[in-house]
Structure 1
Amino acid sequence: MMRFSGAGRTAAALAAATLLASACSATGETGTRAGGPSPADPPAATQATGDATKAPSAALAPFYTQKIAWAPCKDGFQCGKLEVPLDYANPSGDRIKISVIRLPATGKQRIGSILLNPGGPGGSGVEYARAAKTVLTPNIVSRFDTVGFDPRGVGESAPVHCLSGPQLDKFIGLDGTPDDSAEVKALAKGAKEFAEGCEAKSAKLLPHVGTADAARDMDVLRAALGDQGMTYLGKSYGTYLGAVYADLFPNKVRALVLDGAIDPALAPVPTVNAAQARGFEVAFRSFLADCFNQTSCPFSPRTTDAALAQLSTLLKTADQHPLRNNTGDNRKIDESWTTLGIVTALYDKRSWPVLRTALGQAFRGDGTTLLRLADILVDRHQDGRYSNQTEANMAVNCLDHPYPRDTAAYENAARAAQQESPHFGAYVMWGSLPCEYWPVKPAGTDKPLKAAGSPPILVVGTQRDPATPYEWAKALASQLSSGVLLSYDGDGHTAYRTGSSCVDAAVDRYLLTLTTPTSGTLCPKVT
């Protein structure tokens, strides 16, 4: 699985989980491993050429002076295309088009545009912006044009393609916790086939889908929107994209909110993957603490040790004897799909009720609800089609970071992670294996980002965030020369618009007035 996706996928998972919970209630039932989506591949800073703080070169001027031809695209939104160079080192060469959407400010006191990124990498900013009235408060929707874009390689913006739907089913279902050399070889074979598929279908794109290129596209978009400074909300991987933008264009920053932050100084294998696995273990324990107080909790006896043992038994059983699949698509709900379904619901505590239902069914041998949850996170549709989220996620991650090129390194790291995080450690660690075989050399290094000269940047961290651990938010805020940390005593991935009026008020005040909270402010737990 790759690392897990960002807040945009979480929002979708939450909505779908609600529907799943309703369906289960109606029937009387009482949210990068090979394949999975991945939380932000905590990306190291991609190397950029030239000095981005200077005025655009003559060769880039046509891109910076372009006007987007907006056209209505339902529900008051406008859609258009932004033209950018495929290779910023050769702006007179091939061009690609970036898909853009905006919802004009609903009020009369418009400030400018706010650009959104939901995470991933691989999450669609176009889809995320369509949920503007959910992901932003009414005050922000009133004062800003809400703008989303699919980063290059994603969705409708020169998308990376690697595998067919059935091939992705097989890839995601690979045994991500191999127990012997034969299973390691099978996993490595699948990882290599994924990388080869990307090269076969997207070779021209692969060297140019890194985060630094996407950040440069953002600045072209800023100019095309007519904004002197960038106002931005990035979640999960979107925090890394925002930090790279600030590092490249510190004098173009107006206000950046980086929610569910990534520490760009950490190596993905083993450090980032190990931290993420620990995060999911912590999140599952938080889920258990809540579950024990619910009548529908499927664990018995209701003690943490007994419940964790029951989870271990479920995963081991699914590894040897797949759970029942009532969807009719004939996929085997093995340990990988089971783990992925559990992880989906851990992104947001509002998905915990459906996780209780899904686990209760799984303990009786039925993995259908867990499979449906997993499909949400990898963006698989009922007809077997996938978005290109999984492929884009891997393509960006493998280009942004130096990864080990030796299977033994992953095997050793997975063994260590499993000792520390017995339910998620190996699964998360093996998820980056396709990068061992990636056909393009990494363009980045893992290093701190300072954004020297930038105005204040607000970093938001949730103390029990499963996908981007709280310590990453503290690290990013300290690395940025003008970083300000806002903390939330909460569960789930990201904080803004997840239920804390304290977080929402602080973020809105910053976006509207450029007034930051005192660094280190802690918003209380919502009960």
Structure 2
Amino acid sequence: MNAPHSSRPLRTLGAALASAALLSSGCSADASSPPAASMSKKAVPAALRPYYEQSLSWRPCGGADFECATLKAPLDYARPGTGRDLRLAVSRKKATGPGRPLGSLLVNPGGPGGSAVGYLQSFAAVGYPTRVRARYDMVAMDPRGVADSEPVTCLSNKQMDAFTQTDQTPDGRGETTRLVAAYKKFAHGCAARSGRILRHVSTVEAARDMDVLRAALGDRKLHYLGASYGTFLGATYADLYPHRVGRLVLDGALDPTLSSRRINRDQTAGFETAFTAFAEDCVRRTGCPLGTGSVAAARDRLSAFFTRLDSHPVPTGESRALGEPLATMGVISAMYDETAWPQLRTALRSAMRGHGGGLLSLADLYYERDTDGSYANLMYANPAVNCLDLPPAFRTPAEVKKSLPAFRKASPVFGGALAWAALNCAYWPVRPTGNPHALHAKGAAPIVVVGTTRDPATPYPWARALAAQLSSATLLTYDGDGHTAYGRGSSCIDNAINTYLLTGRPPTPHTRCR
């Protein structure tokens, strides 16, 4: 069942791979970084000054010249200095040179719930262009409630296995009751295991933590590259602190004016668009598991396969069988990145012949389930943030049923499952603190918003909307498939972003790349 993270599954496939390859942290002697002197004391409330003026003690970690530190932040910004503080994990790799240092570049891969530290250590610090890494200290911080920053936890691994296999397309009252019971058990587990932090993992609080980090790093402005949900985090920062914005890249953007229900429905349509692109490619190939006819016929064949799995799961070579819930998420997982399409074709072919291991592996990648059966924190942090940021998409099963036609129109393949998945926040133990609203960041330096025309998780209209809201934004368009654009093979996109990061000069308005 994809519910806990489907409310806003804004993450890149690269982030999932990065988390799986997270480097271990071995710590030894440390060095201190002086606090920033860039803000007058009048600009920071007295109760927050100890946080803004703290020194970071850096220690080697993870190999390859990485350093790690711990940032102290108040659990509750309304009551700082009460002794209830959070310890947030930070990592960096210093600029390699040559060239004049430009300060820190903070990166976030999305989620919410993706480990930024894991992303930095396994990809960003080596995968970003050499000329960018030469000038910037590459920095990441796991947001509050995520990974190594006081992570939210909810269920045991065995309980999570059961949760992900719960039927997410209930056919009657009994199955609906079991689905609701699963959501309630998940929510109660989060409250029991993570009650201390659960009320304080909002995007606004995470953005405030970023400003504390900026000060502790000694930077006058925040330079930032956020992907997927990381765009919402970055735009929120810009709206809170417009005059502290340096160079901000927001790749795979979220429209902050949308309700949770609209987000889910738009994403449902986005995954259908991605599936159509996959099917168009597949039916042209000999041996396509969905046939070699039309896209409509391929869609019907996949839907019929899901229906069979609902009552007749297939073996996978391990204790979990492949039923409709895990098969659906296996297919959705491959929609994030067209480079996964060959793997999906093979997995579908095998599953249709009675061997479900390939699709199960794709579902496990989506859920960040390791081969030892353990789950990454993303599956818990994601709903914790989403359910706090926005009111629930649906409050009752009756509301879901009423919206099923709209979701199925958006996606005949995925609509039913994704509509029921959007019920997850209805039973959340903490009331939401946010509402949809526009972000303007008036007075901010130029910001670059990047949108991909066939992005399944953050549909292209969201990027257009965010670029229109932000007072100083330029929209950069990638005409292509997959989730996000930077570093995916388009030299046009990469050159435009690299030039902006190194010079501050945004791309020409209306630039469109392939």
Q: Same fold (TM over 0.5)?
A: yes
**For residues 105-144 of structure 1, what are the structure 2 equivalents within 5 Å?**
105-109=95-99, 110-130=101-121, 131-133=123-125, 135-144=127-136
What's the counterpart of residue 476 of structure 1?
466
Which residue matches 1:464?
454
Aligned position for 1:194: 186
The equivalent of 2:46 in structure 1 is 58
3-state DSSP class of the match of 2:88? strand
Question: Does 1:335 find its partner at 2:338?
Answer: no
Shift of 1:136: 1.6
Q: Of 495, 518, 526, which aligns to 2:508?
A: 518
Counterpart of 2:382, as a letter, is N
Shift of 1:83: 0.4
2:402 — aligned with what? 412
Higher RCO by CA contacts (8 Å cutoff, separation 6 or greater):
1
> Which residue is equivalent to 1:249?
241
Tell me which amino acid in the other structure corresponds to 1:55.
A
1:354-373, Cα deviation, whole Å (9 max, x unpaired): 11111111121221111111
Trace 1:475-494 onto structure 2 (pairs within 5 A).
Answer: 475-494=465-484
For residues 425-450 of structure 1, give each alpha carbon's deviation from its aligned partner in whole angstroms, at most 9, with x where no partner exists: 12222223231111111100111111
Please list the CA deviations of residues 297-339 of structure 1 after superposition, one character each: whole Å capped at 9, or x if unmatched: 323233212211111111111111112211x2x1131111001
Alignment map for 1:435-450 (pairs within 5 Å): 435-450=425-440
1:506 and 2:510 are equivalent in the alignment:
no
Give 3-state SS (helix, strand or coil) of 2:406's partner: helix
Counterparts of 1:62 and 1:69, CA distance in 2: 15
Length-normalised TM-score, structure 1:
0.89
Q: Say whether the 8 Å CA contact 2:19–2:115 is kept in structure 1.
A: no
Cα root mean square deviation, aligned? 1.8
Provide the residue aligned with 1:36 in structure 2: none
Which of these residues, 45, 69, 81, is aligned with residue 57 of structure 2? 69
CA deviation string 1:16-37 (max 9, x = no partner): 89xxxxxxxxxxxxxxxxxxxx
Please say if residues 321 and 356 of structure 2, whose CA atoms lie closer than 8 Å, have aligned partners that are also in contact. no
CA distance in structure 1 between the partners assigned to 2:404 and 2:156 by the alignment: 28
Q: Say yes or no: does 1:175 pair with 2:164.
A: no
User: Which of 285, 289, 293 lines up with 2:284 in the alignment?
Assistant: 293
1:381 and 2:370 correspond: yes
Q: How far apart, in 1, do the equivalents of 2:338 and 2:64 lie?
A: 30
Return closer, same or farther for 1:413/1:337 CA change in 2, 3 Å cut-off.
same
Greater mean alpha carbon deviation, residues 410-419 or residues 382-391? 410-419
Q: Secondary structure at the match of 2:257?
A: coil
Q: Distance in 2 between matches of 1:320 and 1:54?
A: 65
Residue 172 (structure 1) shift: 1.4
Corresponding position of 1:221: 213
Could you report, residue by residue, the CA deviation over 1:66-109 in whole angstroms, capped at 9, with x for unpaired residues? 11111111111101110000000001120010001101111132
Contact 2:314 2:322 in 1 (8 A): yes
Which range is displaced more, 294-303 or 502-511? 294-303
Please name the residue that 1:34 is paired with: none
Q: What one-letter code is carried by the residue in structure 2 that aligns with 1:227?
A: D
1:28-67 alignment to 2 at 5 Å? 55-67=43-55
- TM-score, scaled to structure 2: 0.92
Q: Secondary structure at the match of 1:204?
A: helix
Contact residue 286 and residue 292 of structure 2 kept, 8 A: no
Q: Over residues 134-171 of structure 1, what are the superposed CA-to-partner deviations in whole Å (9 max), with x where a residue is unaligned?
A: 54211111111111111000001011111110111111
Corresponding residue for 1:402? 391
Unaligned runs of 5+ in 1: 18-52
Structure 1 match to 2:268 = 277
Residue 101 (1) aligns with residue 91 (2): yes
Give, as a single letter, the amino acid of the residue that structure 2 aligns with 1:344: S
How far apart, in 1, do the equivalents of 2:74 and 2:12 lie?
A: 27
Q: 1:429 and 1:65 mapped to 2: Cα distance? A: 46
Aligned residue identity for 1:283: A
Give 1:408 shift. Answer: 1.7
* 1:324 matches 2:328: no
State the Cα distance separating 1:207 from its structure 2 match: 0.7
Deviation of 1:14 (Å):
9.4
In the superposition, relative to structure 1, how do residues 16 and 250 fare at CA in structure 2: closer, same or farther (>3 Å)?
A: closer
1:223: Cα distance to partner? 0.8
Deviation at 1:175, TM superposition (A): 1.1
* SS in structure 2 at match of 1:71: strand
Q: Deviations over 1:32-85 (max 9, x none)?
A: xxxxxxxxxxxxxxxxxxxxx971111111111111111111111101110000
Q: What letter corresponds to residue 473 of structure 2 in structure 1?
A: G
Paired amino acid for 1:442: P
SS for the counterpart of 1:462 is strand
Deviations, residues 207-228 of structure 1 (Å, cap 9, x unaligned): 1000000000000011111111
**Using a 3 Å threshold, how does the CA distance of structure 1 residues 381 and 16 change in structure 2: closer, same or farther?**
closer
- Quick check: 467-476 or 396-405, which moved more? 396-405
Q: Structure 1 pair 16/355, CA: closer, same or farther in 2 (3 Å)?
A: farther
Q: Give, in whole Å, the separation in 2 of the partners of 1:114 and 1:379.
A: 26
The answer to whether the 8 A contact 1:162-1:198 is kept is: yes
Distance 1:134 1:425 in 2: 38
C-alpha distance in 2 between matches for 1:307 and 1:405:
34
Q: Is the 8 A contact 1:462 1:490 kept in 2?
A: yes
CA distance in 2 between counterparts of 1:255 and 1:385 reads 37
Distance 2:245 2:159 in 1: 42
Kindly provide the amino acid, as one letter, of the partner of residue 309 in structure 2.
A
- Distance in 2 between residues matched to 1:302 and 1:10, nearest whole Å: 32
Q: Contact conserved, 2:283 with 2:295, CA < 8 A, in 1?
A: no
In the alignment, which residue of structure 2 is the partner of 1:27? none
C-alpha contact 1:160 1:202 (8 A) present in aligned 2? yes
